[in-house]
Structure 1
Amino acid sequence: MTSDSEFSLEVTAVVSLAAGVRQVRLERRNRTPLPGWEPGAHIDVLLPNGLVRQYSLCGDPRDDAAYEIAVLRAPQSRGGSEHVHTRLRVGDEVAVRGPRNNFTFAARHRALFIAGGIGITPILAMIGQAEREGREWKLVYGGRNRDSMAFAGELQRYGDRVQLVPEDELGRLDLPALLGKPLPDTEVYCCGPTGLLDAVQQLCKPWPPGSLHLERFSGAITDGPTAAFTVVAERSGVVCSVAPGQSIVDALADVGVVVPTSCGEGLCGTCETKVLDGVPDHRDLLLGDDEREAGTSMMICVSRAIGPRLVLDL
């Protein structure tokens, strides 16, 4: 289920999970059920300081009373995780949007989970679903040290299906050994820092199409053409020019066409827009290779145009 509606939730619990990681439980004040979600989903949290951040849901999807998120205090926080760690308290009210899922778990056979640091959050609910379905799975989970690895204790109950790799004890994940040879009937689900995702993506190129599923937390692609181009908002009957360094979202807003956005980095999917004509220059980190090649939709917070003109279904 995906929802873009905004509603308020109460912080009912804040727990320290690991060094620099806090788990937050959110419920309605009247304790009525929340919109349903599936493993891999995230919510937009509209913090009181005006920032909007996306956090993966890491609780049990069968629990419709609450959403649970785990937040890493980023060393160079732009204000989101810092607020959660230093100011958010039980009883506070926060607005949320969602849930939205760009990292759907739909393994047909065996699942290989690879998590780096706080990337364990969406994987946790996937493991729960794999268990309920009786599906074969394995998790390889890397972190700086054991103290920083959220849910490490909880995961130990799964025995040798979980491989914890604290870097200070065992070094970095041996990805070539893990992925160097495609495994039959296996799908890879990976979430974590950019370096890990890039390495996994490269190693999985020889794997069958559709084997790899990624969730990224940061970064928009900045390489590519920077020339100005024209955007036609077909349904609105509006034409505007997008200047170098200007986003399509901002250019449209200047002429009165407001498109909802959230992350502004091509990560969350809020601004995904149907393309009616023209060739998108995809700079998001969300669409798959087949979706990019089709060119029928784009994330207009970061993507641009290859050519002089785009016609959008807006």
Structure 2
Amino acid sequence: MIALVWVEHEDGAIKDATLATVTAAAKLGEVHALVAGSGVGGVAEAAAKIAGVTKVHVADDAAYDHALAENVAPLVAAIVRDHCDYFVAPATTTGKNIAPRVAALLDVMQISDILSVEDGDTFTRPIYAGNAIATVKSSDAKKVLTVRTTAFPKAAAEGSSGSVEPVSGPGDAGLSSFVGAEIAHSERPELTSAKIIVSGGRALGSSDEFHRVIDPLADKLGAAVGASRAAVDAGYAPNDYQVGQTGKIVAPEVYMAIGISGAIQHLAGMKDSKTIVAINKDEDAPIFQVADIGLVGDLFKLVPELTEKL
């Protein structure tokens, strides 16, 4: 059995989500990788070194820049149809954009957000915001999967010497075009790969207070900054800070939830964290049910005091 992994990359570097996806794919059989874009030779060479990867397909074409799903999906479908048994993508924004189109082109059901591989046909995935785990078995000849990357360890970035093979595809489908990107740059770690995350909730009251309380603590800890959906919807923090079922799924070493009540949708995005620290004035807040360390009190006093003592 051969599993084709979609390699996410940016500015010539492979994203961590790809490494966890390779680990999941290795449980299915031989791992091939697909690198698409223009001038991606360096990315392909790096992908060939990922432990477990035996072959890298390289589609070097400007049509695949920016991973436009309308262009990438036919390329993936053609490779899977002729050479592979599985298509495996990380359950990131890009992966979740490409995979459903591939499944439609192959006329199979997609299995989303898998947590484990039981065997070649059987997988587990969360349902009801992670409150139940479903075991799903597929009889499709070709299988399309997205992987919850926090559920799998990252494959070693080096340790293999896979072959690199050029591949061509249909090119530009003419259905979409890249107009531009407004990317928020930060010196802090990326949210999905950070070892420590400090998240703020609606209780912070305003954007000014959010940044006054949360940012100094995050800077002291070398942490990424996250936010609940309520805080993002209220305009306290930008969308790319959002953690939860409709935001980013994270599993850092330490997750600090400050002024976050712990709605089920938020817990779905962070409850796999190794250590959860909660600070909230409501001792009955649901967040304390999953917290390893809980502190009941006024966050506007406790957090600056904690920051000062670090």
Structures share a fold, TM > 0.5?
no
- Give the structure-2-normalised TM-score: 0.28
